[in-house]
Amino acid sequence: MRALSNFPLEIFGDRSEYPFDEILSFGPANGRRAGDRVFPYDIVFDASRQDIYELLASLPDGFVPDVLLFVWPDQDPIPSKLEQCPIPTLAFVSDYNLALPLYLRSWPFFDLVLCDRPGLQVLGSLPFARVEPICQFSFRPDVHHIYREPSGKPIDRDIDICFVGNLNPQIQRERSLYLERLQALSGQHKVFIGSTPQGEAYGRMLSRSRITFNRSIRGEINLRCFEAPACGSLLFIERENQEIRDYFEDGREVVLYSPEDLELKLKYFLSHEEERAAIAARGHKRVQQYRLASHLHGLPDLIRQLDRAQRPIADALTTELGRGELQLLTWASGGPLLSPLVKAVQRAPHSALARNQLAVAMLARCADQVSPQDAYEHLAAATHLDPSYLPARWNLCLLAEQTGQVELRKAILSDIEQILSKSPLKPSSLDGFVLPLNYSSKQREQAGAWCAAQREGFITPVEALHRHWLNQEMSQLAAAEPVSEQAPLSPAPAL
């Protein structure tokens, strides 16, 4: 079986380890950066500008792929016309808790979506042809190992407790509370909490750490679950994690903690070095079985079961919107970034959703290349096209706030309050990006609400979030000092 991948799988191990006879990768000319290394692609291909047929035509003679792999397609653009791809197409989806709104219309592009176990209820409720669980994380053998002195002796473990990772409290609210608890131990123990560049510096930090603290965001097994044991550090992970027991045994290879016993267990293992080292050593031995290739060994059987005819067929508007939304936070830029959403508006000029998504892309990613007035006009048009459409009103509210137009902001909030008084709202009234993006608290909240809506089968969590935003805005206005008004923005064009 031959695989064509948008991700250089050799980042996580030699290609010969994977369950494919041959693998080729495709991507931009500057390669894929992973920590302090850049991995080149076999085929130089700009998915933001080229279509699937151009990709297939660029393959070497004799290479006919049996499957097309897209690893984390919210990070790298997908080629146009992917919905027409004649070979099975797979997507590995990870951070849906932050990016689900980007995926809501991506179902026409993939025959199989692979995610962690907690994601089955979320992604499985969308119209994808098939969703299956898989572990898509591992460690890099060239980076995550026990580092040694020139003499061959392992480097000293001079850090008692370590956490290296995302410290943004807007994204990791629960984790940040636990990190405060770790920091409180710094008077008695050497604690490191921070960020280190991925690559050797990160691997060395884990190799210096007696205990590596971890807390997942979705109850999933994440990269750190493999990286820490690979570096010989004792992994601490939350007891309620839904996947960790599939890979490690509590008290023998890792330590599971609860909110009530975290400090107690940390202090115990820091004062019982032989026991700590023995568990860490067994974890280090166990993790060698969990290279990324080992997680994918069942993939060929899944691929053989796929029926291309089962992939849902979507209209042109949905595919243009889906591609434009999915690539919004990728490296695509300028015209290629906006092109699918421009086409969506051209196909459906009376779609409030299409106009809102285009305006958000213009403001969030292309503000230095387009006129803000053009974006404003799309948002204003969206509110006229659908008087109950909330995302465009929230985006206009932000523009009014940024330009100091208090009265306009109040008027928009009054409209929002009137719309929310007519509960329950249609899903179409709530569907659309709300600024700011780039993993802001608002984007995290929006993604979380849509995840809850998919799990529950009701739009109520999204509607409740809009009420929460309204209460926040009204409280801010009530507490704010009066500011001078500026000239109002131009009215929306006649439709």
The pair phi, psi for residue 113, each rounded to 5°, is: -110, 130
Q: Decide: 45 and 26 in contact? Cβ < 8 Å.
A: yes
pLDDT at residue 495 in the model: 36
Q: What is the pLDDT of residues 95-126, one digit of tens each?
A: 999 999 999 999 999 999 999 999 999 999 99
Phi/psi at 478 (5° precision): -65, -30
Q: Is 7 exposed, middle or buried (0-12, 13-18, 19+ CB in 10 A)?
A: buried
3-state SS class at 60: coil
The residues near 121 (Cβ < 8 Å, ≥ 6 apart) are 454, 455
Q: How confident is the model at residue 50 (pLDDT cuts 50, 70, 90)?
A: very high
Q: What is the 3-state secondary structure (H, E, C) of 363-379?
A: HHHCCCCCCHHHHHHHH
Among the ranges given (3-12, 111-120, 392-401, 484-493), the one the predictor scored with the smallest mean pLDDT: 484-493
Which of 68, 491, 141, 138 lies closest to 311 in space, CA to CA? 68
Q: CA–CA separation, 174 vs 428, rounded Å? A: 31
Q: Please say whether the beta carbons of 233 and 209 come within 8 A.
A: yes
* SS3 (DSSP) at 339: helix
The whole-angstrom separation of Cα 372 and Cα 275 is: 61
Query: Tokens representing 83?
Result: 């919905």
| Structural tokens at position 6 | 């948008």
Burial of 141 from C-beta contacts in 10 A (0-12 / 13-18 / 19+):
middle
Q: What pLDDT digit, counting tens, does each position of 250-265 carry?
A: 999 999 999 999 999 9
Instruction: Identify which of 74, 57, 75, 83 has the alpha carbon closest to the alpha carbon of residue 4.
Output: 57
pTM assigned to the model: 0.92
Instruction: Sort strands 32-34 and 37-39 into parallel, antiparallel or unpaired.
Output: antiparallel
Identify the CATH assignment for 349-479 out of 1.25.40, 3.40.50, 3.40.190, 2.60.40. 1.25.40
pLDDT digits (tens, 9 = 90+) for 274-310: 999 999 999 999 999 999 999 999 999 999 999 988 9
How far is the C-alpha of 352 from the C-alpha of 102, rounded, in Å?
17
Of 32-36, 65-69, 118-122, 268-272, the least confident: 32-36
Whether the per-residue pLDDT at 464 is higher than 70: the answer is yes
Which residue shows structure tokens 């993790």? 287
CB–CB of 147/230 below 8 Å?
Answer: no
Specify the residue for token string 């689900």.
100
pLDDT tens column, 131-164: 999 999 999 999 999 999 999 999 999 999 999 9
| Mean residue pLDDT across the chain | 94
Q: Measured between alpha carbons, how far is residue 138 from residues 4, 41, 223, 261, 470 in Å?
A: 20, 21, 6, 28, 42
Pair of tokens at residue 349: 């000029």
Give the residue, 230 or 423, on which the prediction is more confident.
230
According to DSSP, the residues that pair with 333 across neighbouring strands are none
Number of residues in the chain: 495
Quick: pLDDT tens for 304-357: 999 988 999 999 999 999 999 999 999 999 999 999 999 999 999 999 999 999
Measured distance CA(324)–CA(321) in Å, rounded: 5
Confidence of residue 67 (pLDDT cuts 50, 70, 90): very high
Identical fold for domains 159-289 and 349-479, yes or no, is: no
* Per-residue pLDDT tens over the stretch 155-201: 999 999 999 987 776 667 788 899 999 999 999 999 999 987 789 99
Residue 228 has pLDDT above 50, yes or no: yes
pLDDT tier at 487 (50, 70, 90 boundaries)?
Answer: low
Report the largest interatomic distance among the alpha carbons of the chain, rounded to a whole angstrom.
77
Q: Which of 143, 272, 252 is nearest to 197 (CA)?
A: 143
> Which CATH number does the domain 159-289 belong to among 3.40.50.880, 3.20.20.80, 3.40.50.2000, 3.90.1010.10?
3.40.50.2000
In this model, does residue 483 exceed pLDDT 70? no
Is the separation of the CB atoms in 388 and 429 below 8 Å? Answer: yes
Where do the DSSP E strands lie in 72-215?
A: 89-92, 112-115, 131-133, 159-164, 191-194, 209-213
Distance CA 342, CA 357 (A): 9
Q: Are 113 and 128 in contact (CB under 8 A)?
A: yes
* Minimum mean pLDDT range among 18-32, 313-327, 410-424, 427-441: 427-441
- Cα distance between residue 160 and residue 271, in whole Å: 10
pLDDT band at 493 (very low <50, low <70, confident <90, very high): very low
CA 273 and chain centroid, separation: 37
- Amino acid identity, residue 408? L
Return the domain boundaries, the chain. Answer: 2-135, 159-289, 349-479
Residue partners of 422: CB distance under 8 A and separation at least 6: 388
Question: Of 347, 286, 350, 294, whose CA–CA distance to 321 is shortest?
Answer: 347
Residue 271 has pLDDT above 50, yes or no: yes
Confidence label for 441 from pLDDT (cuts 50, 70 and 90) = confident
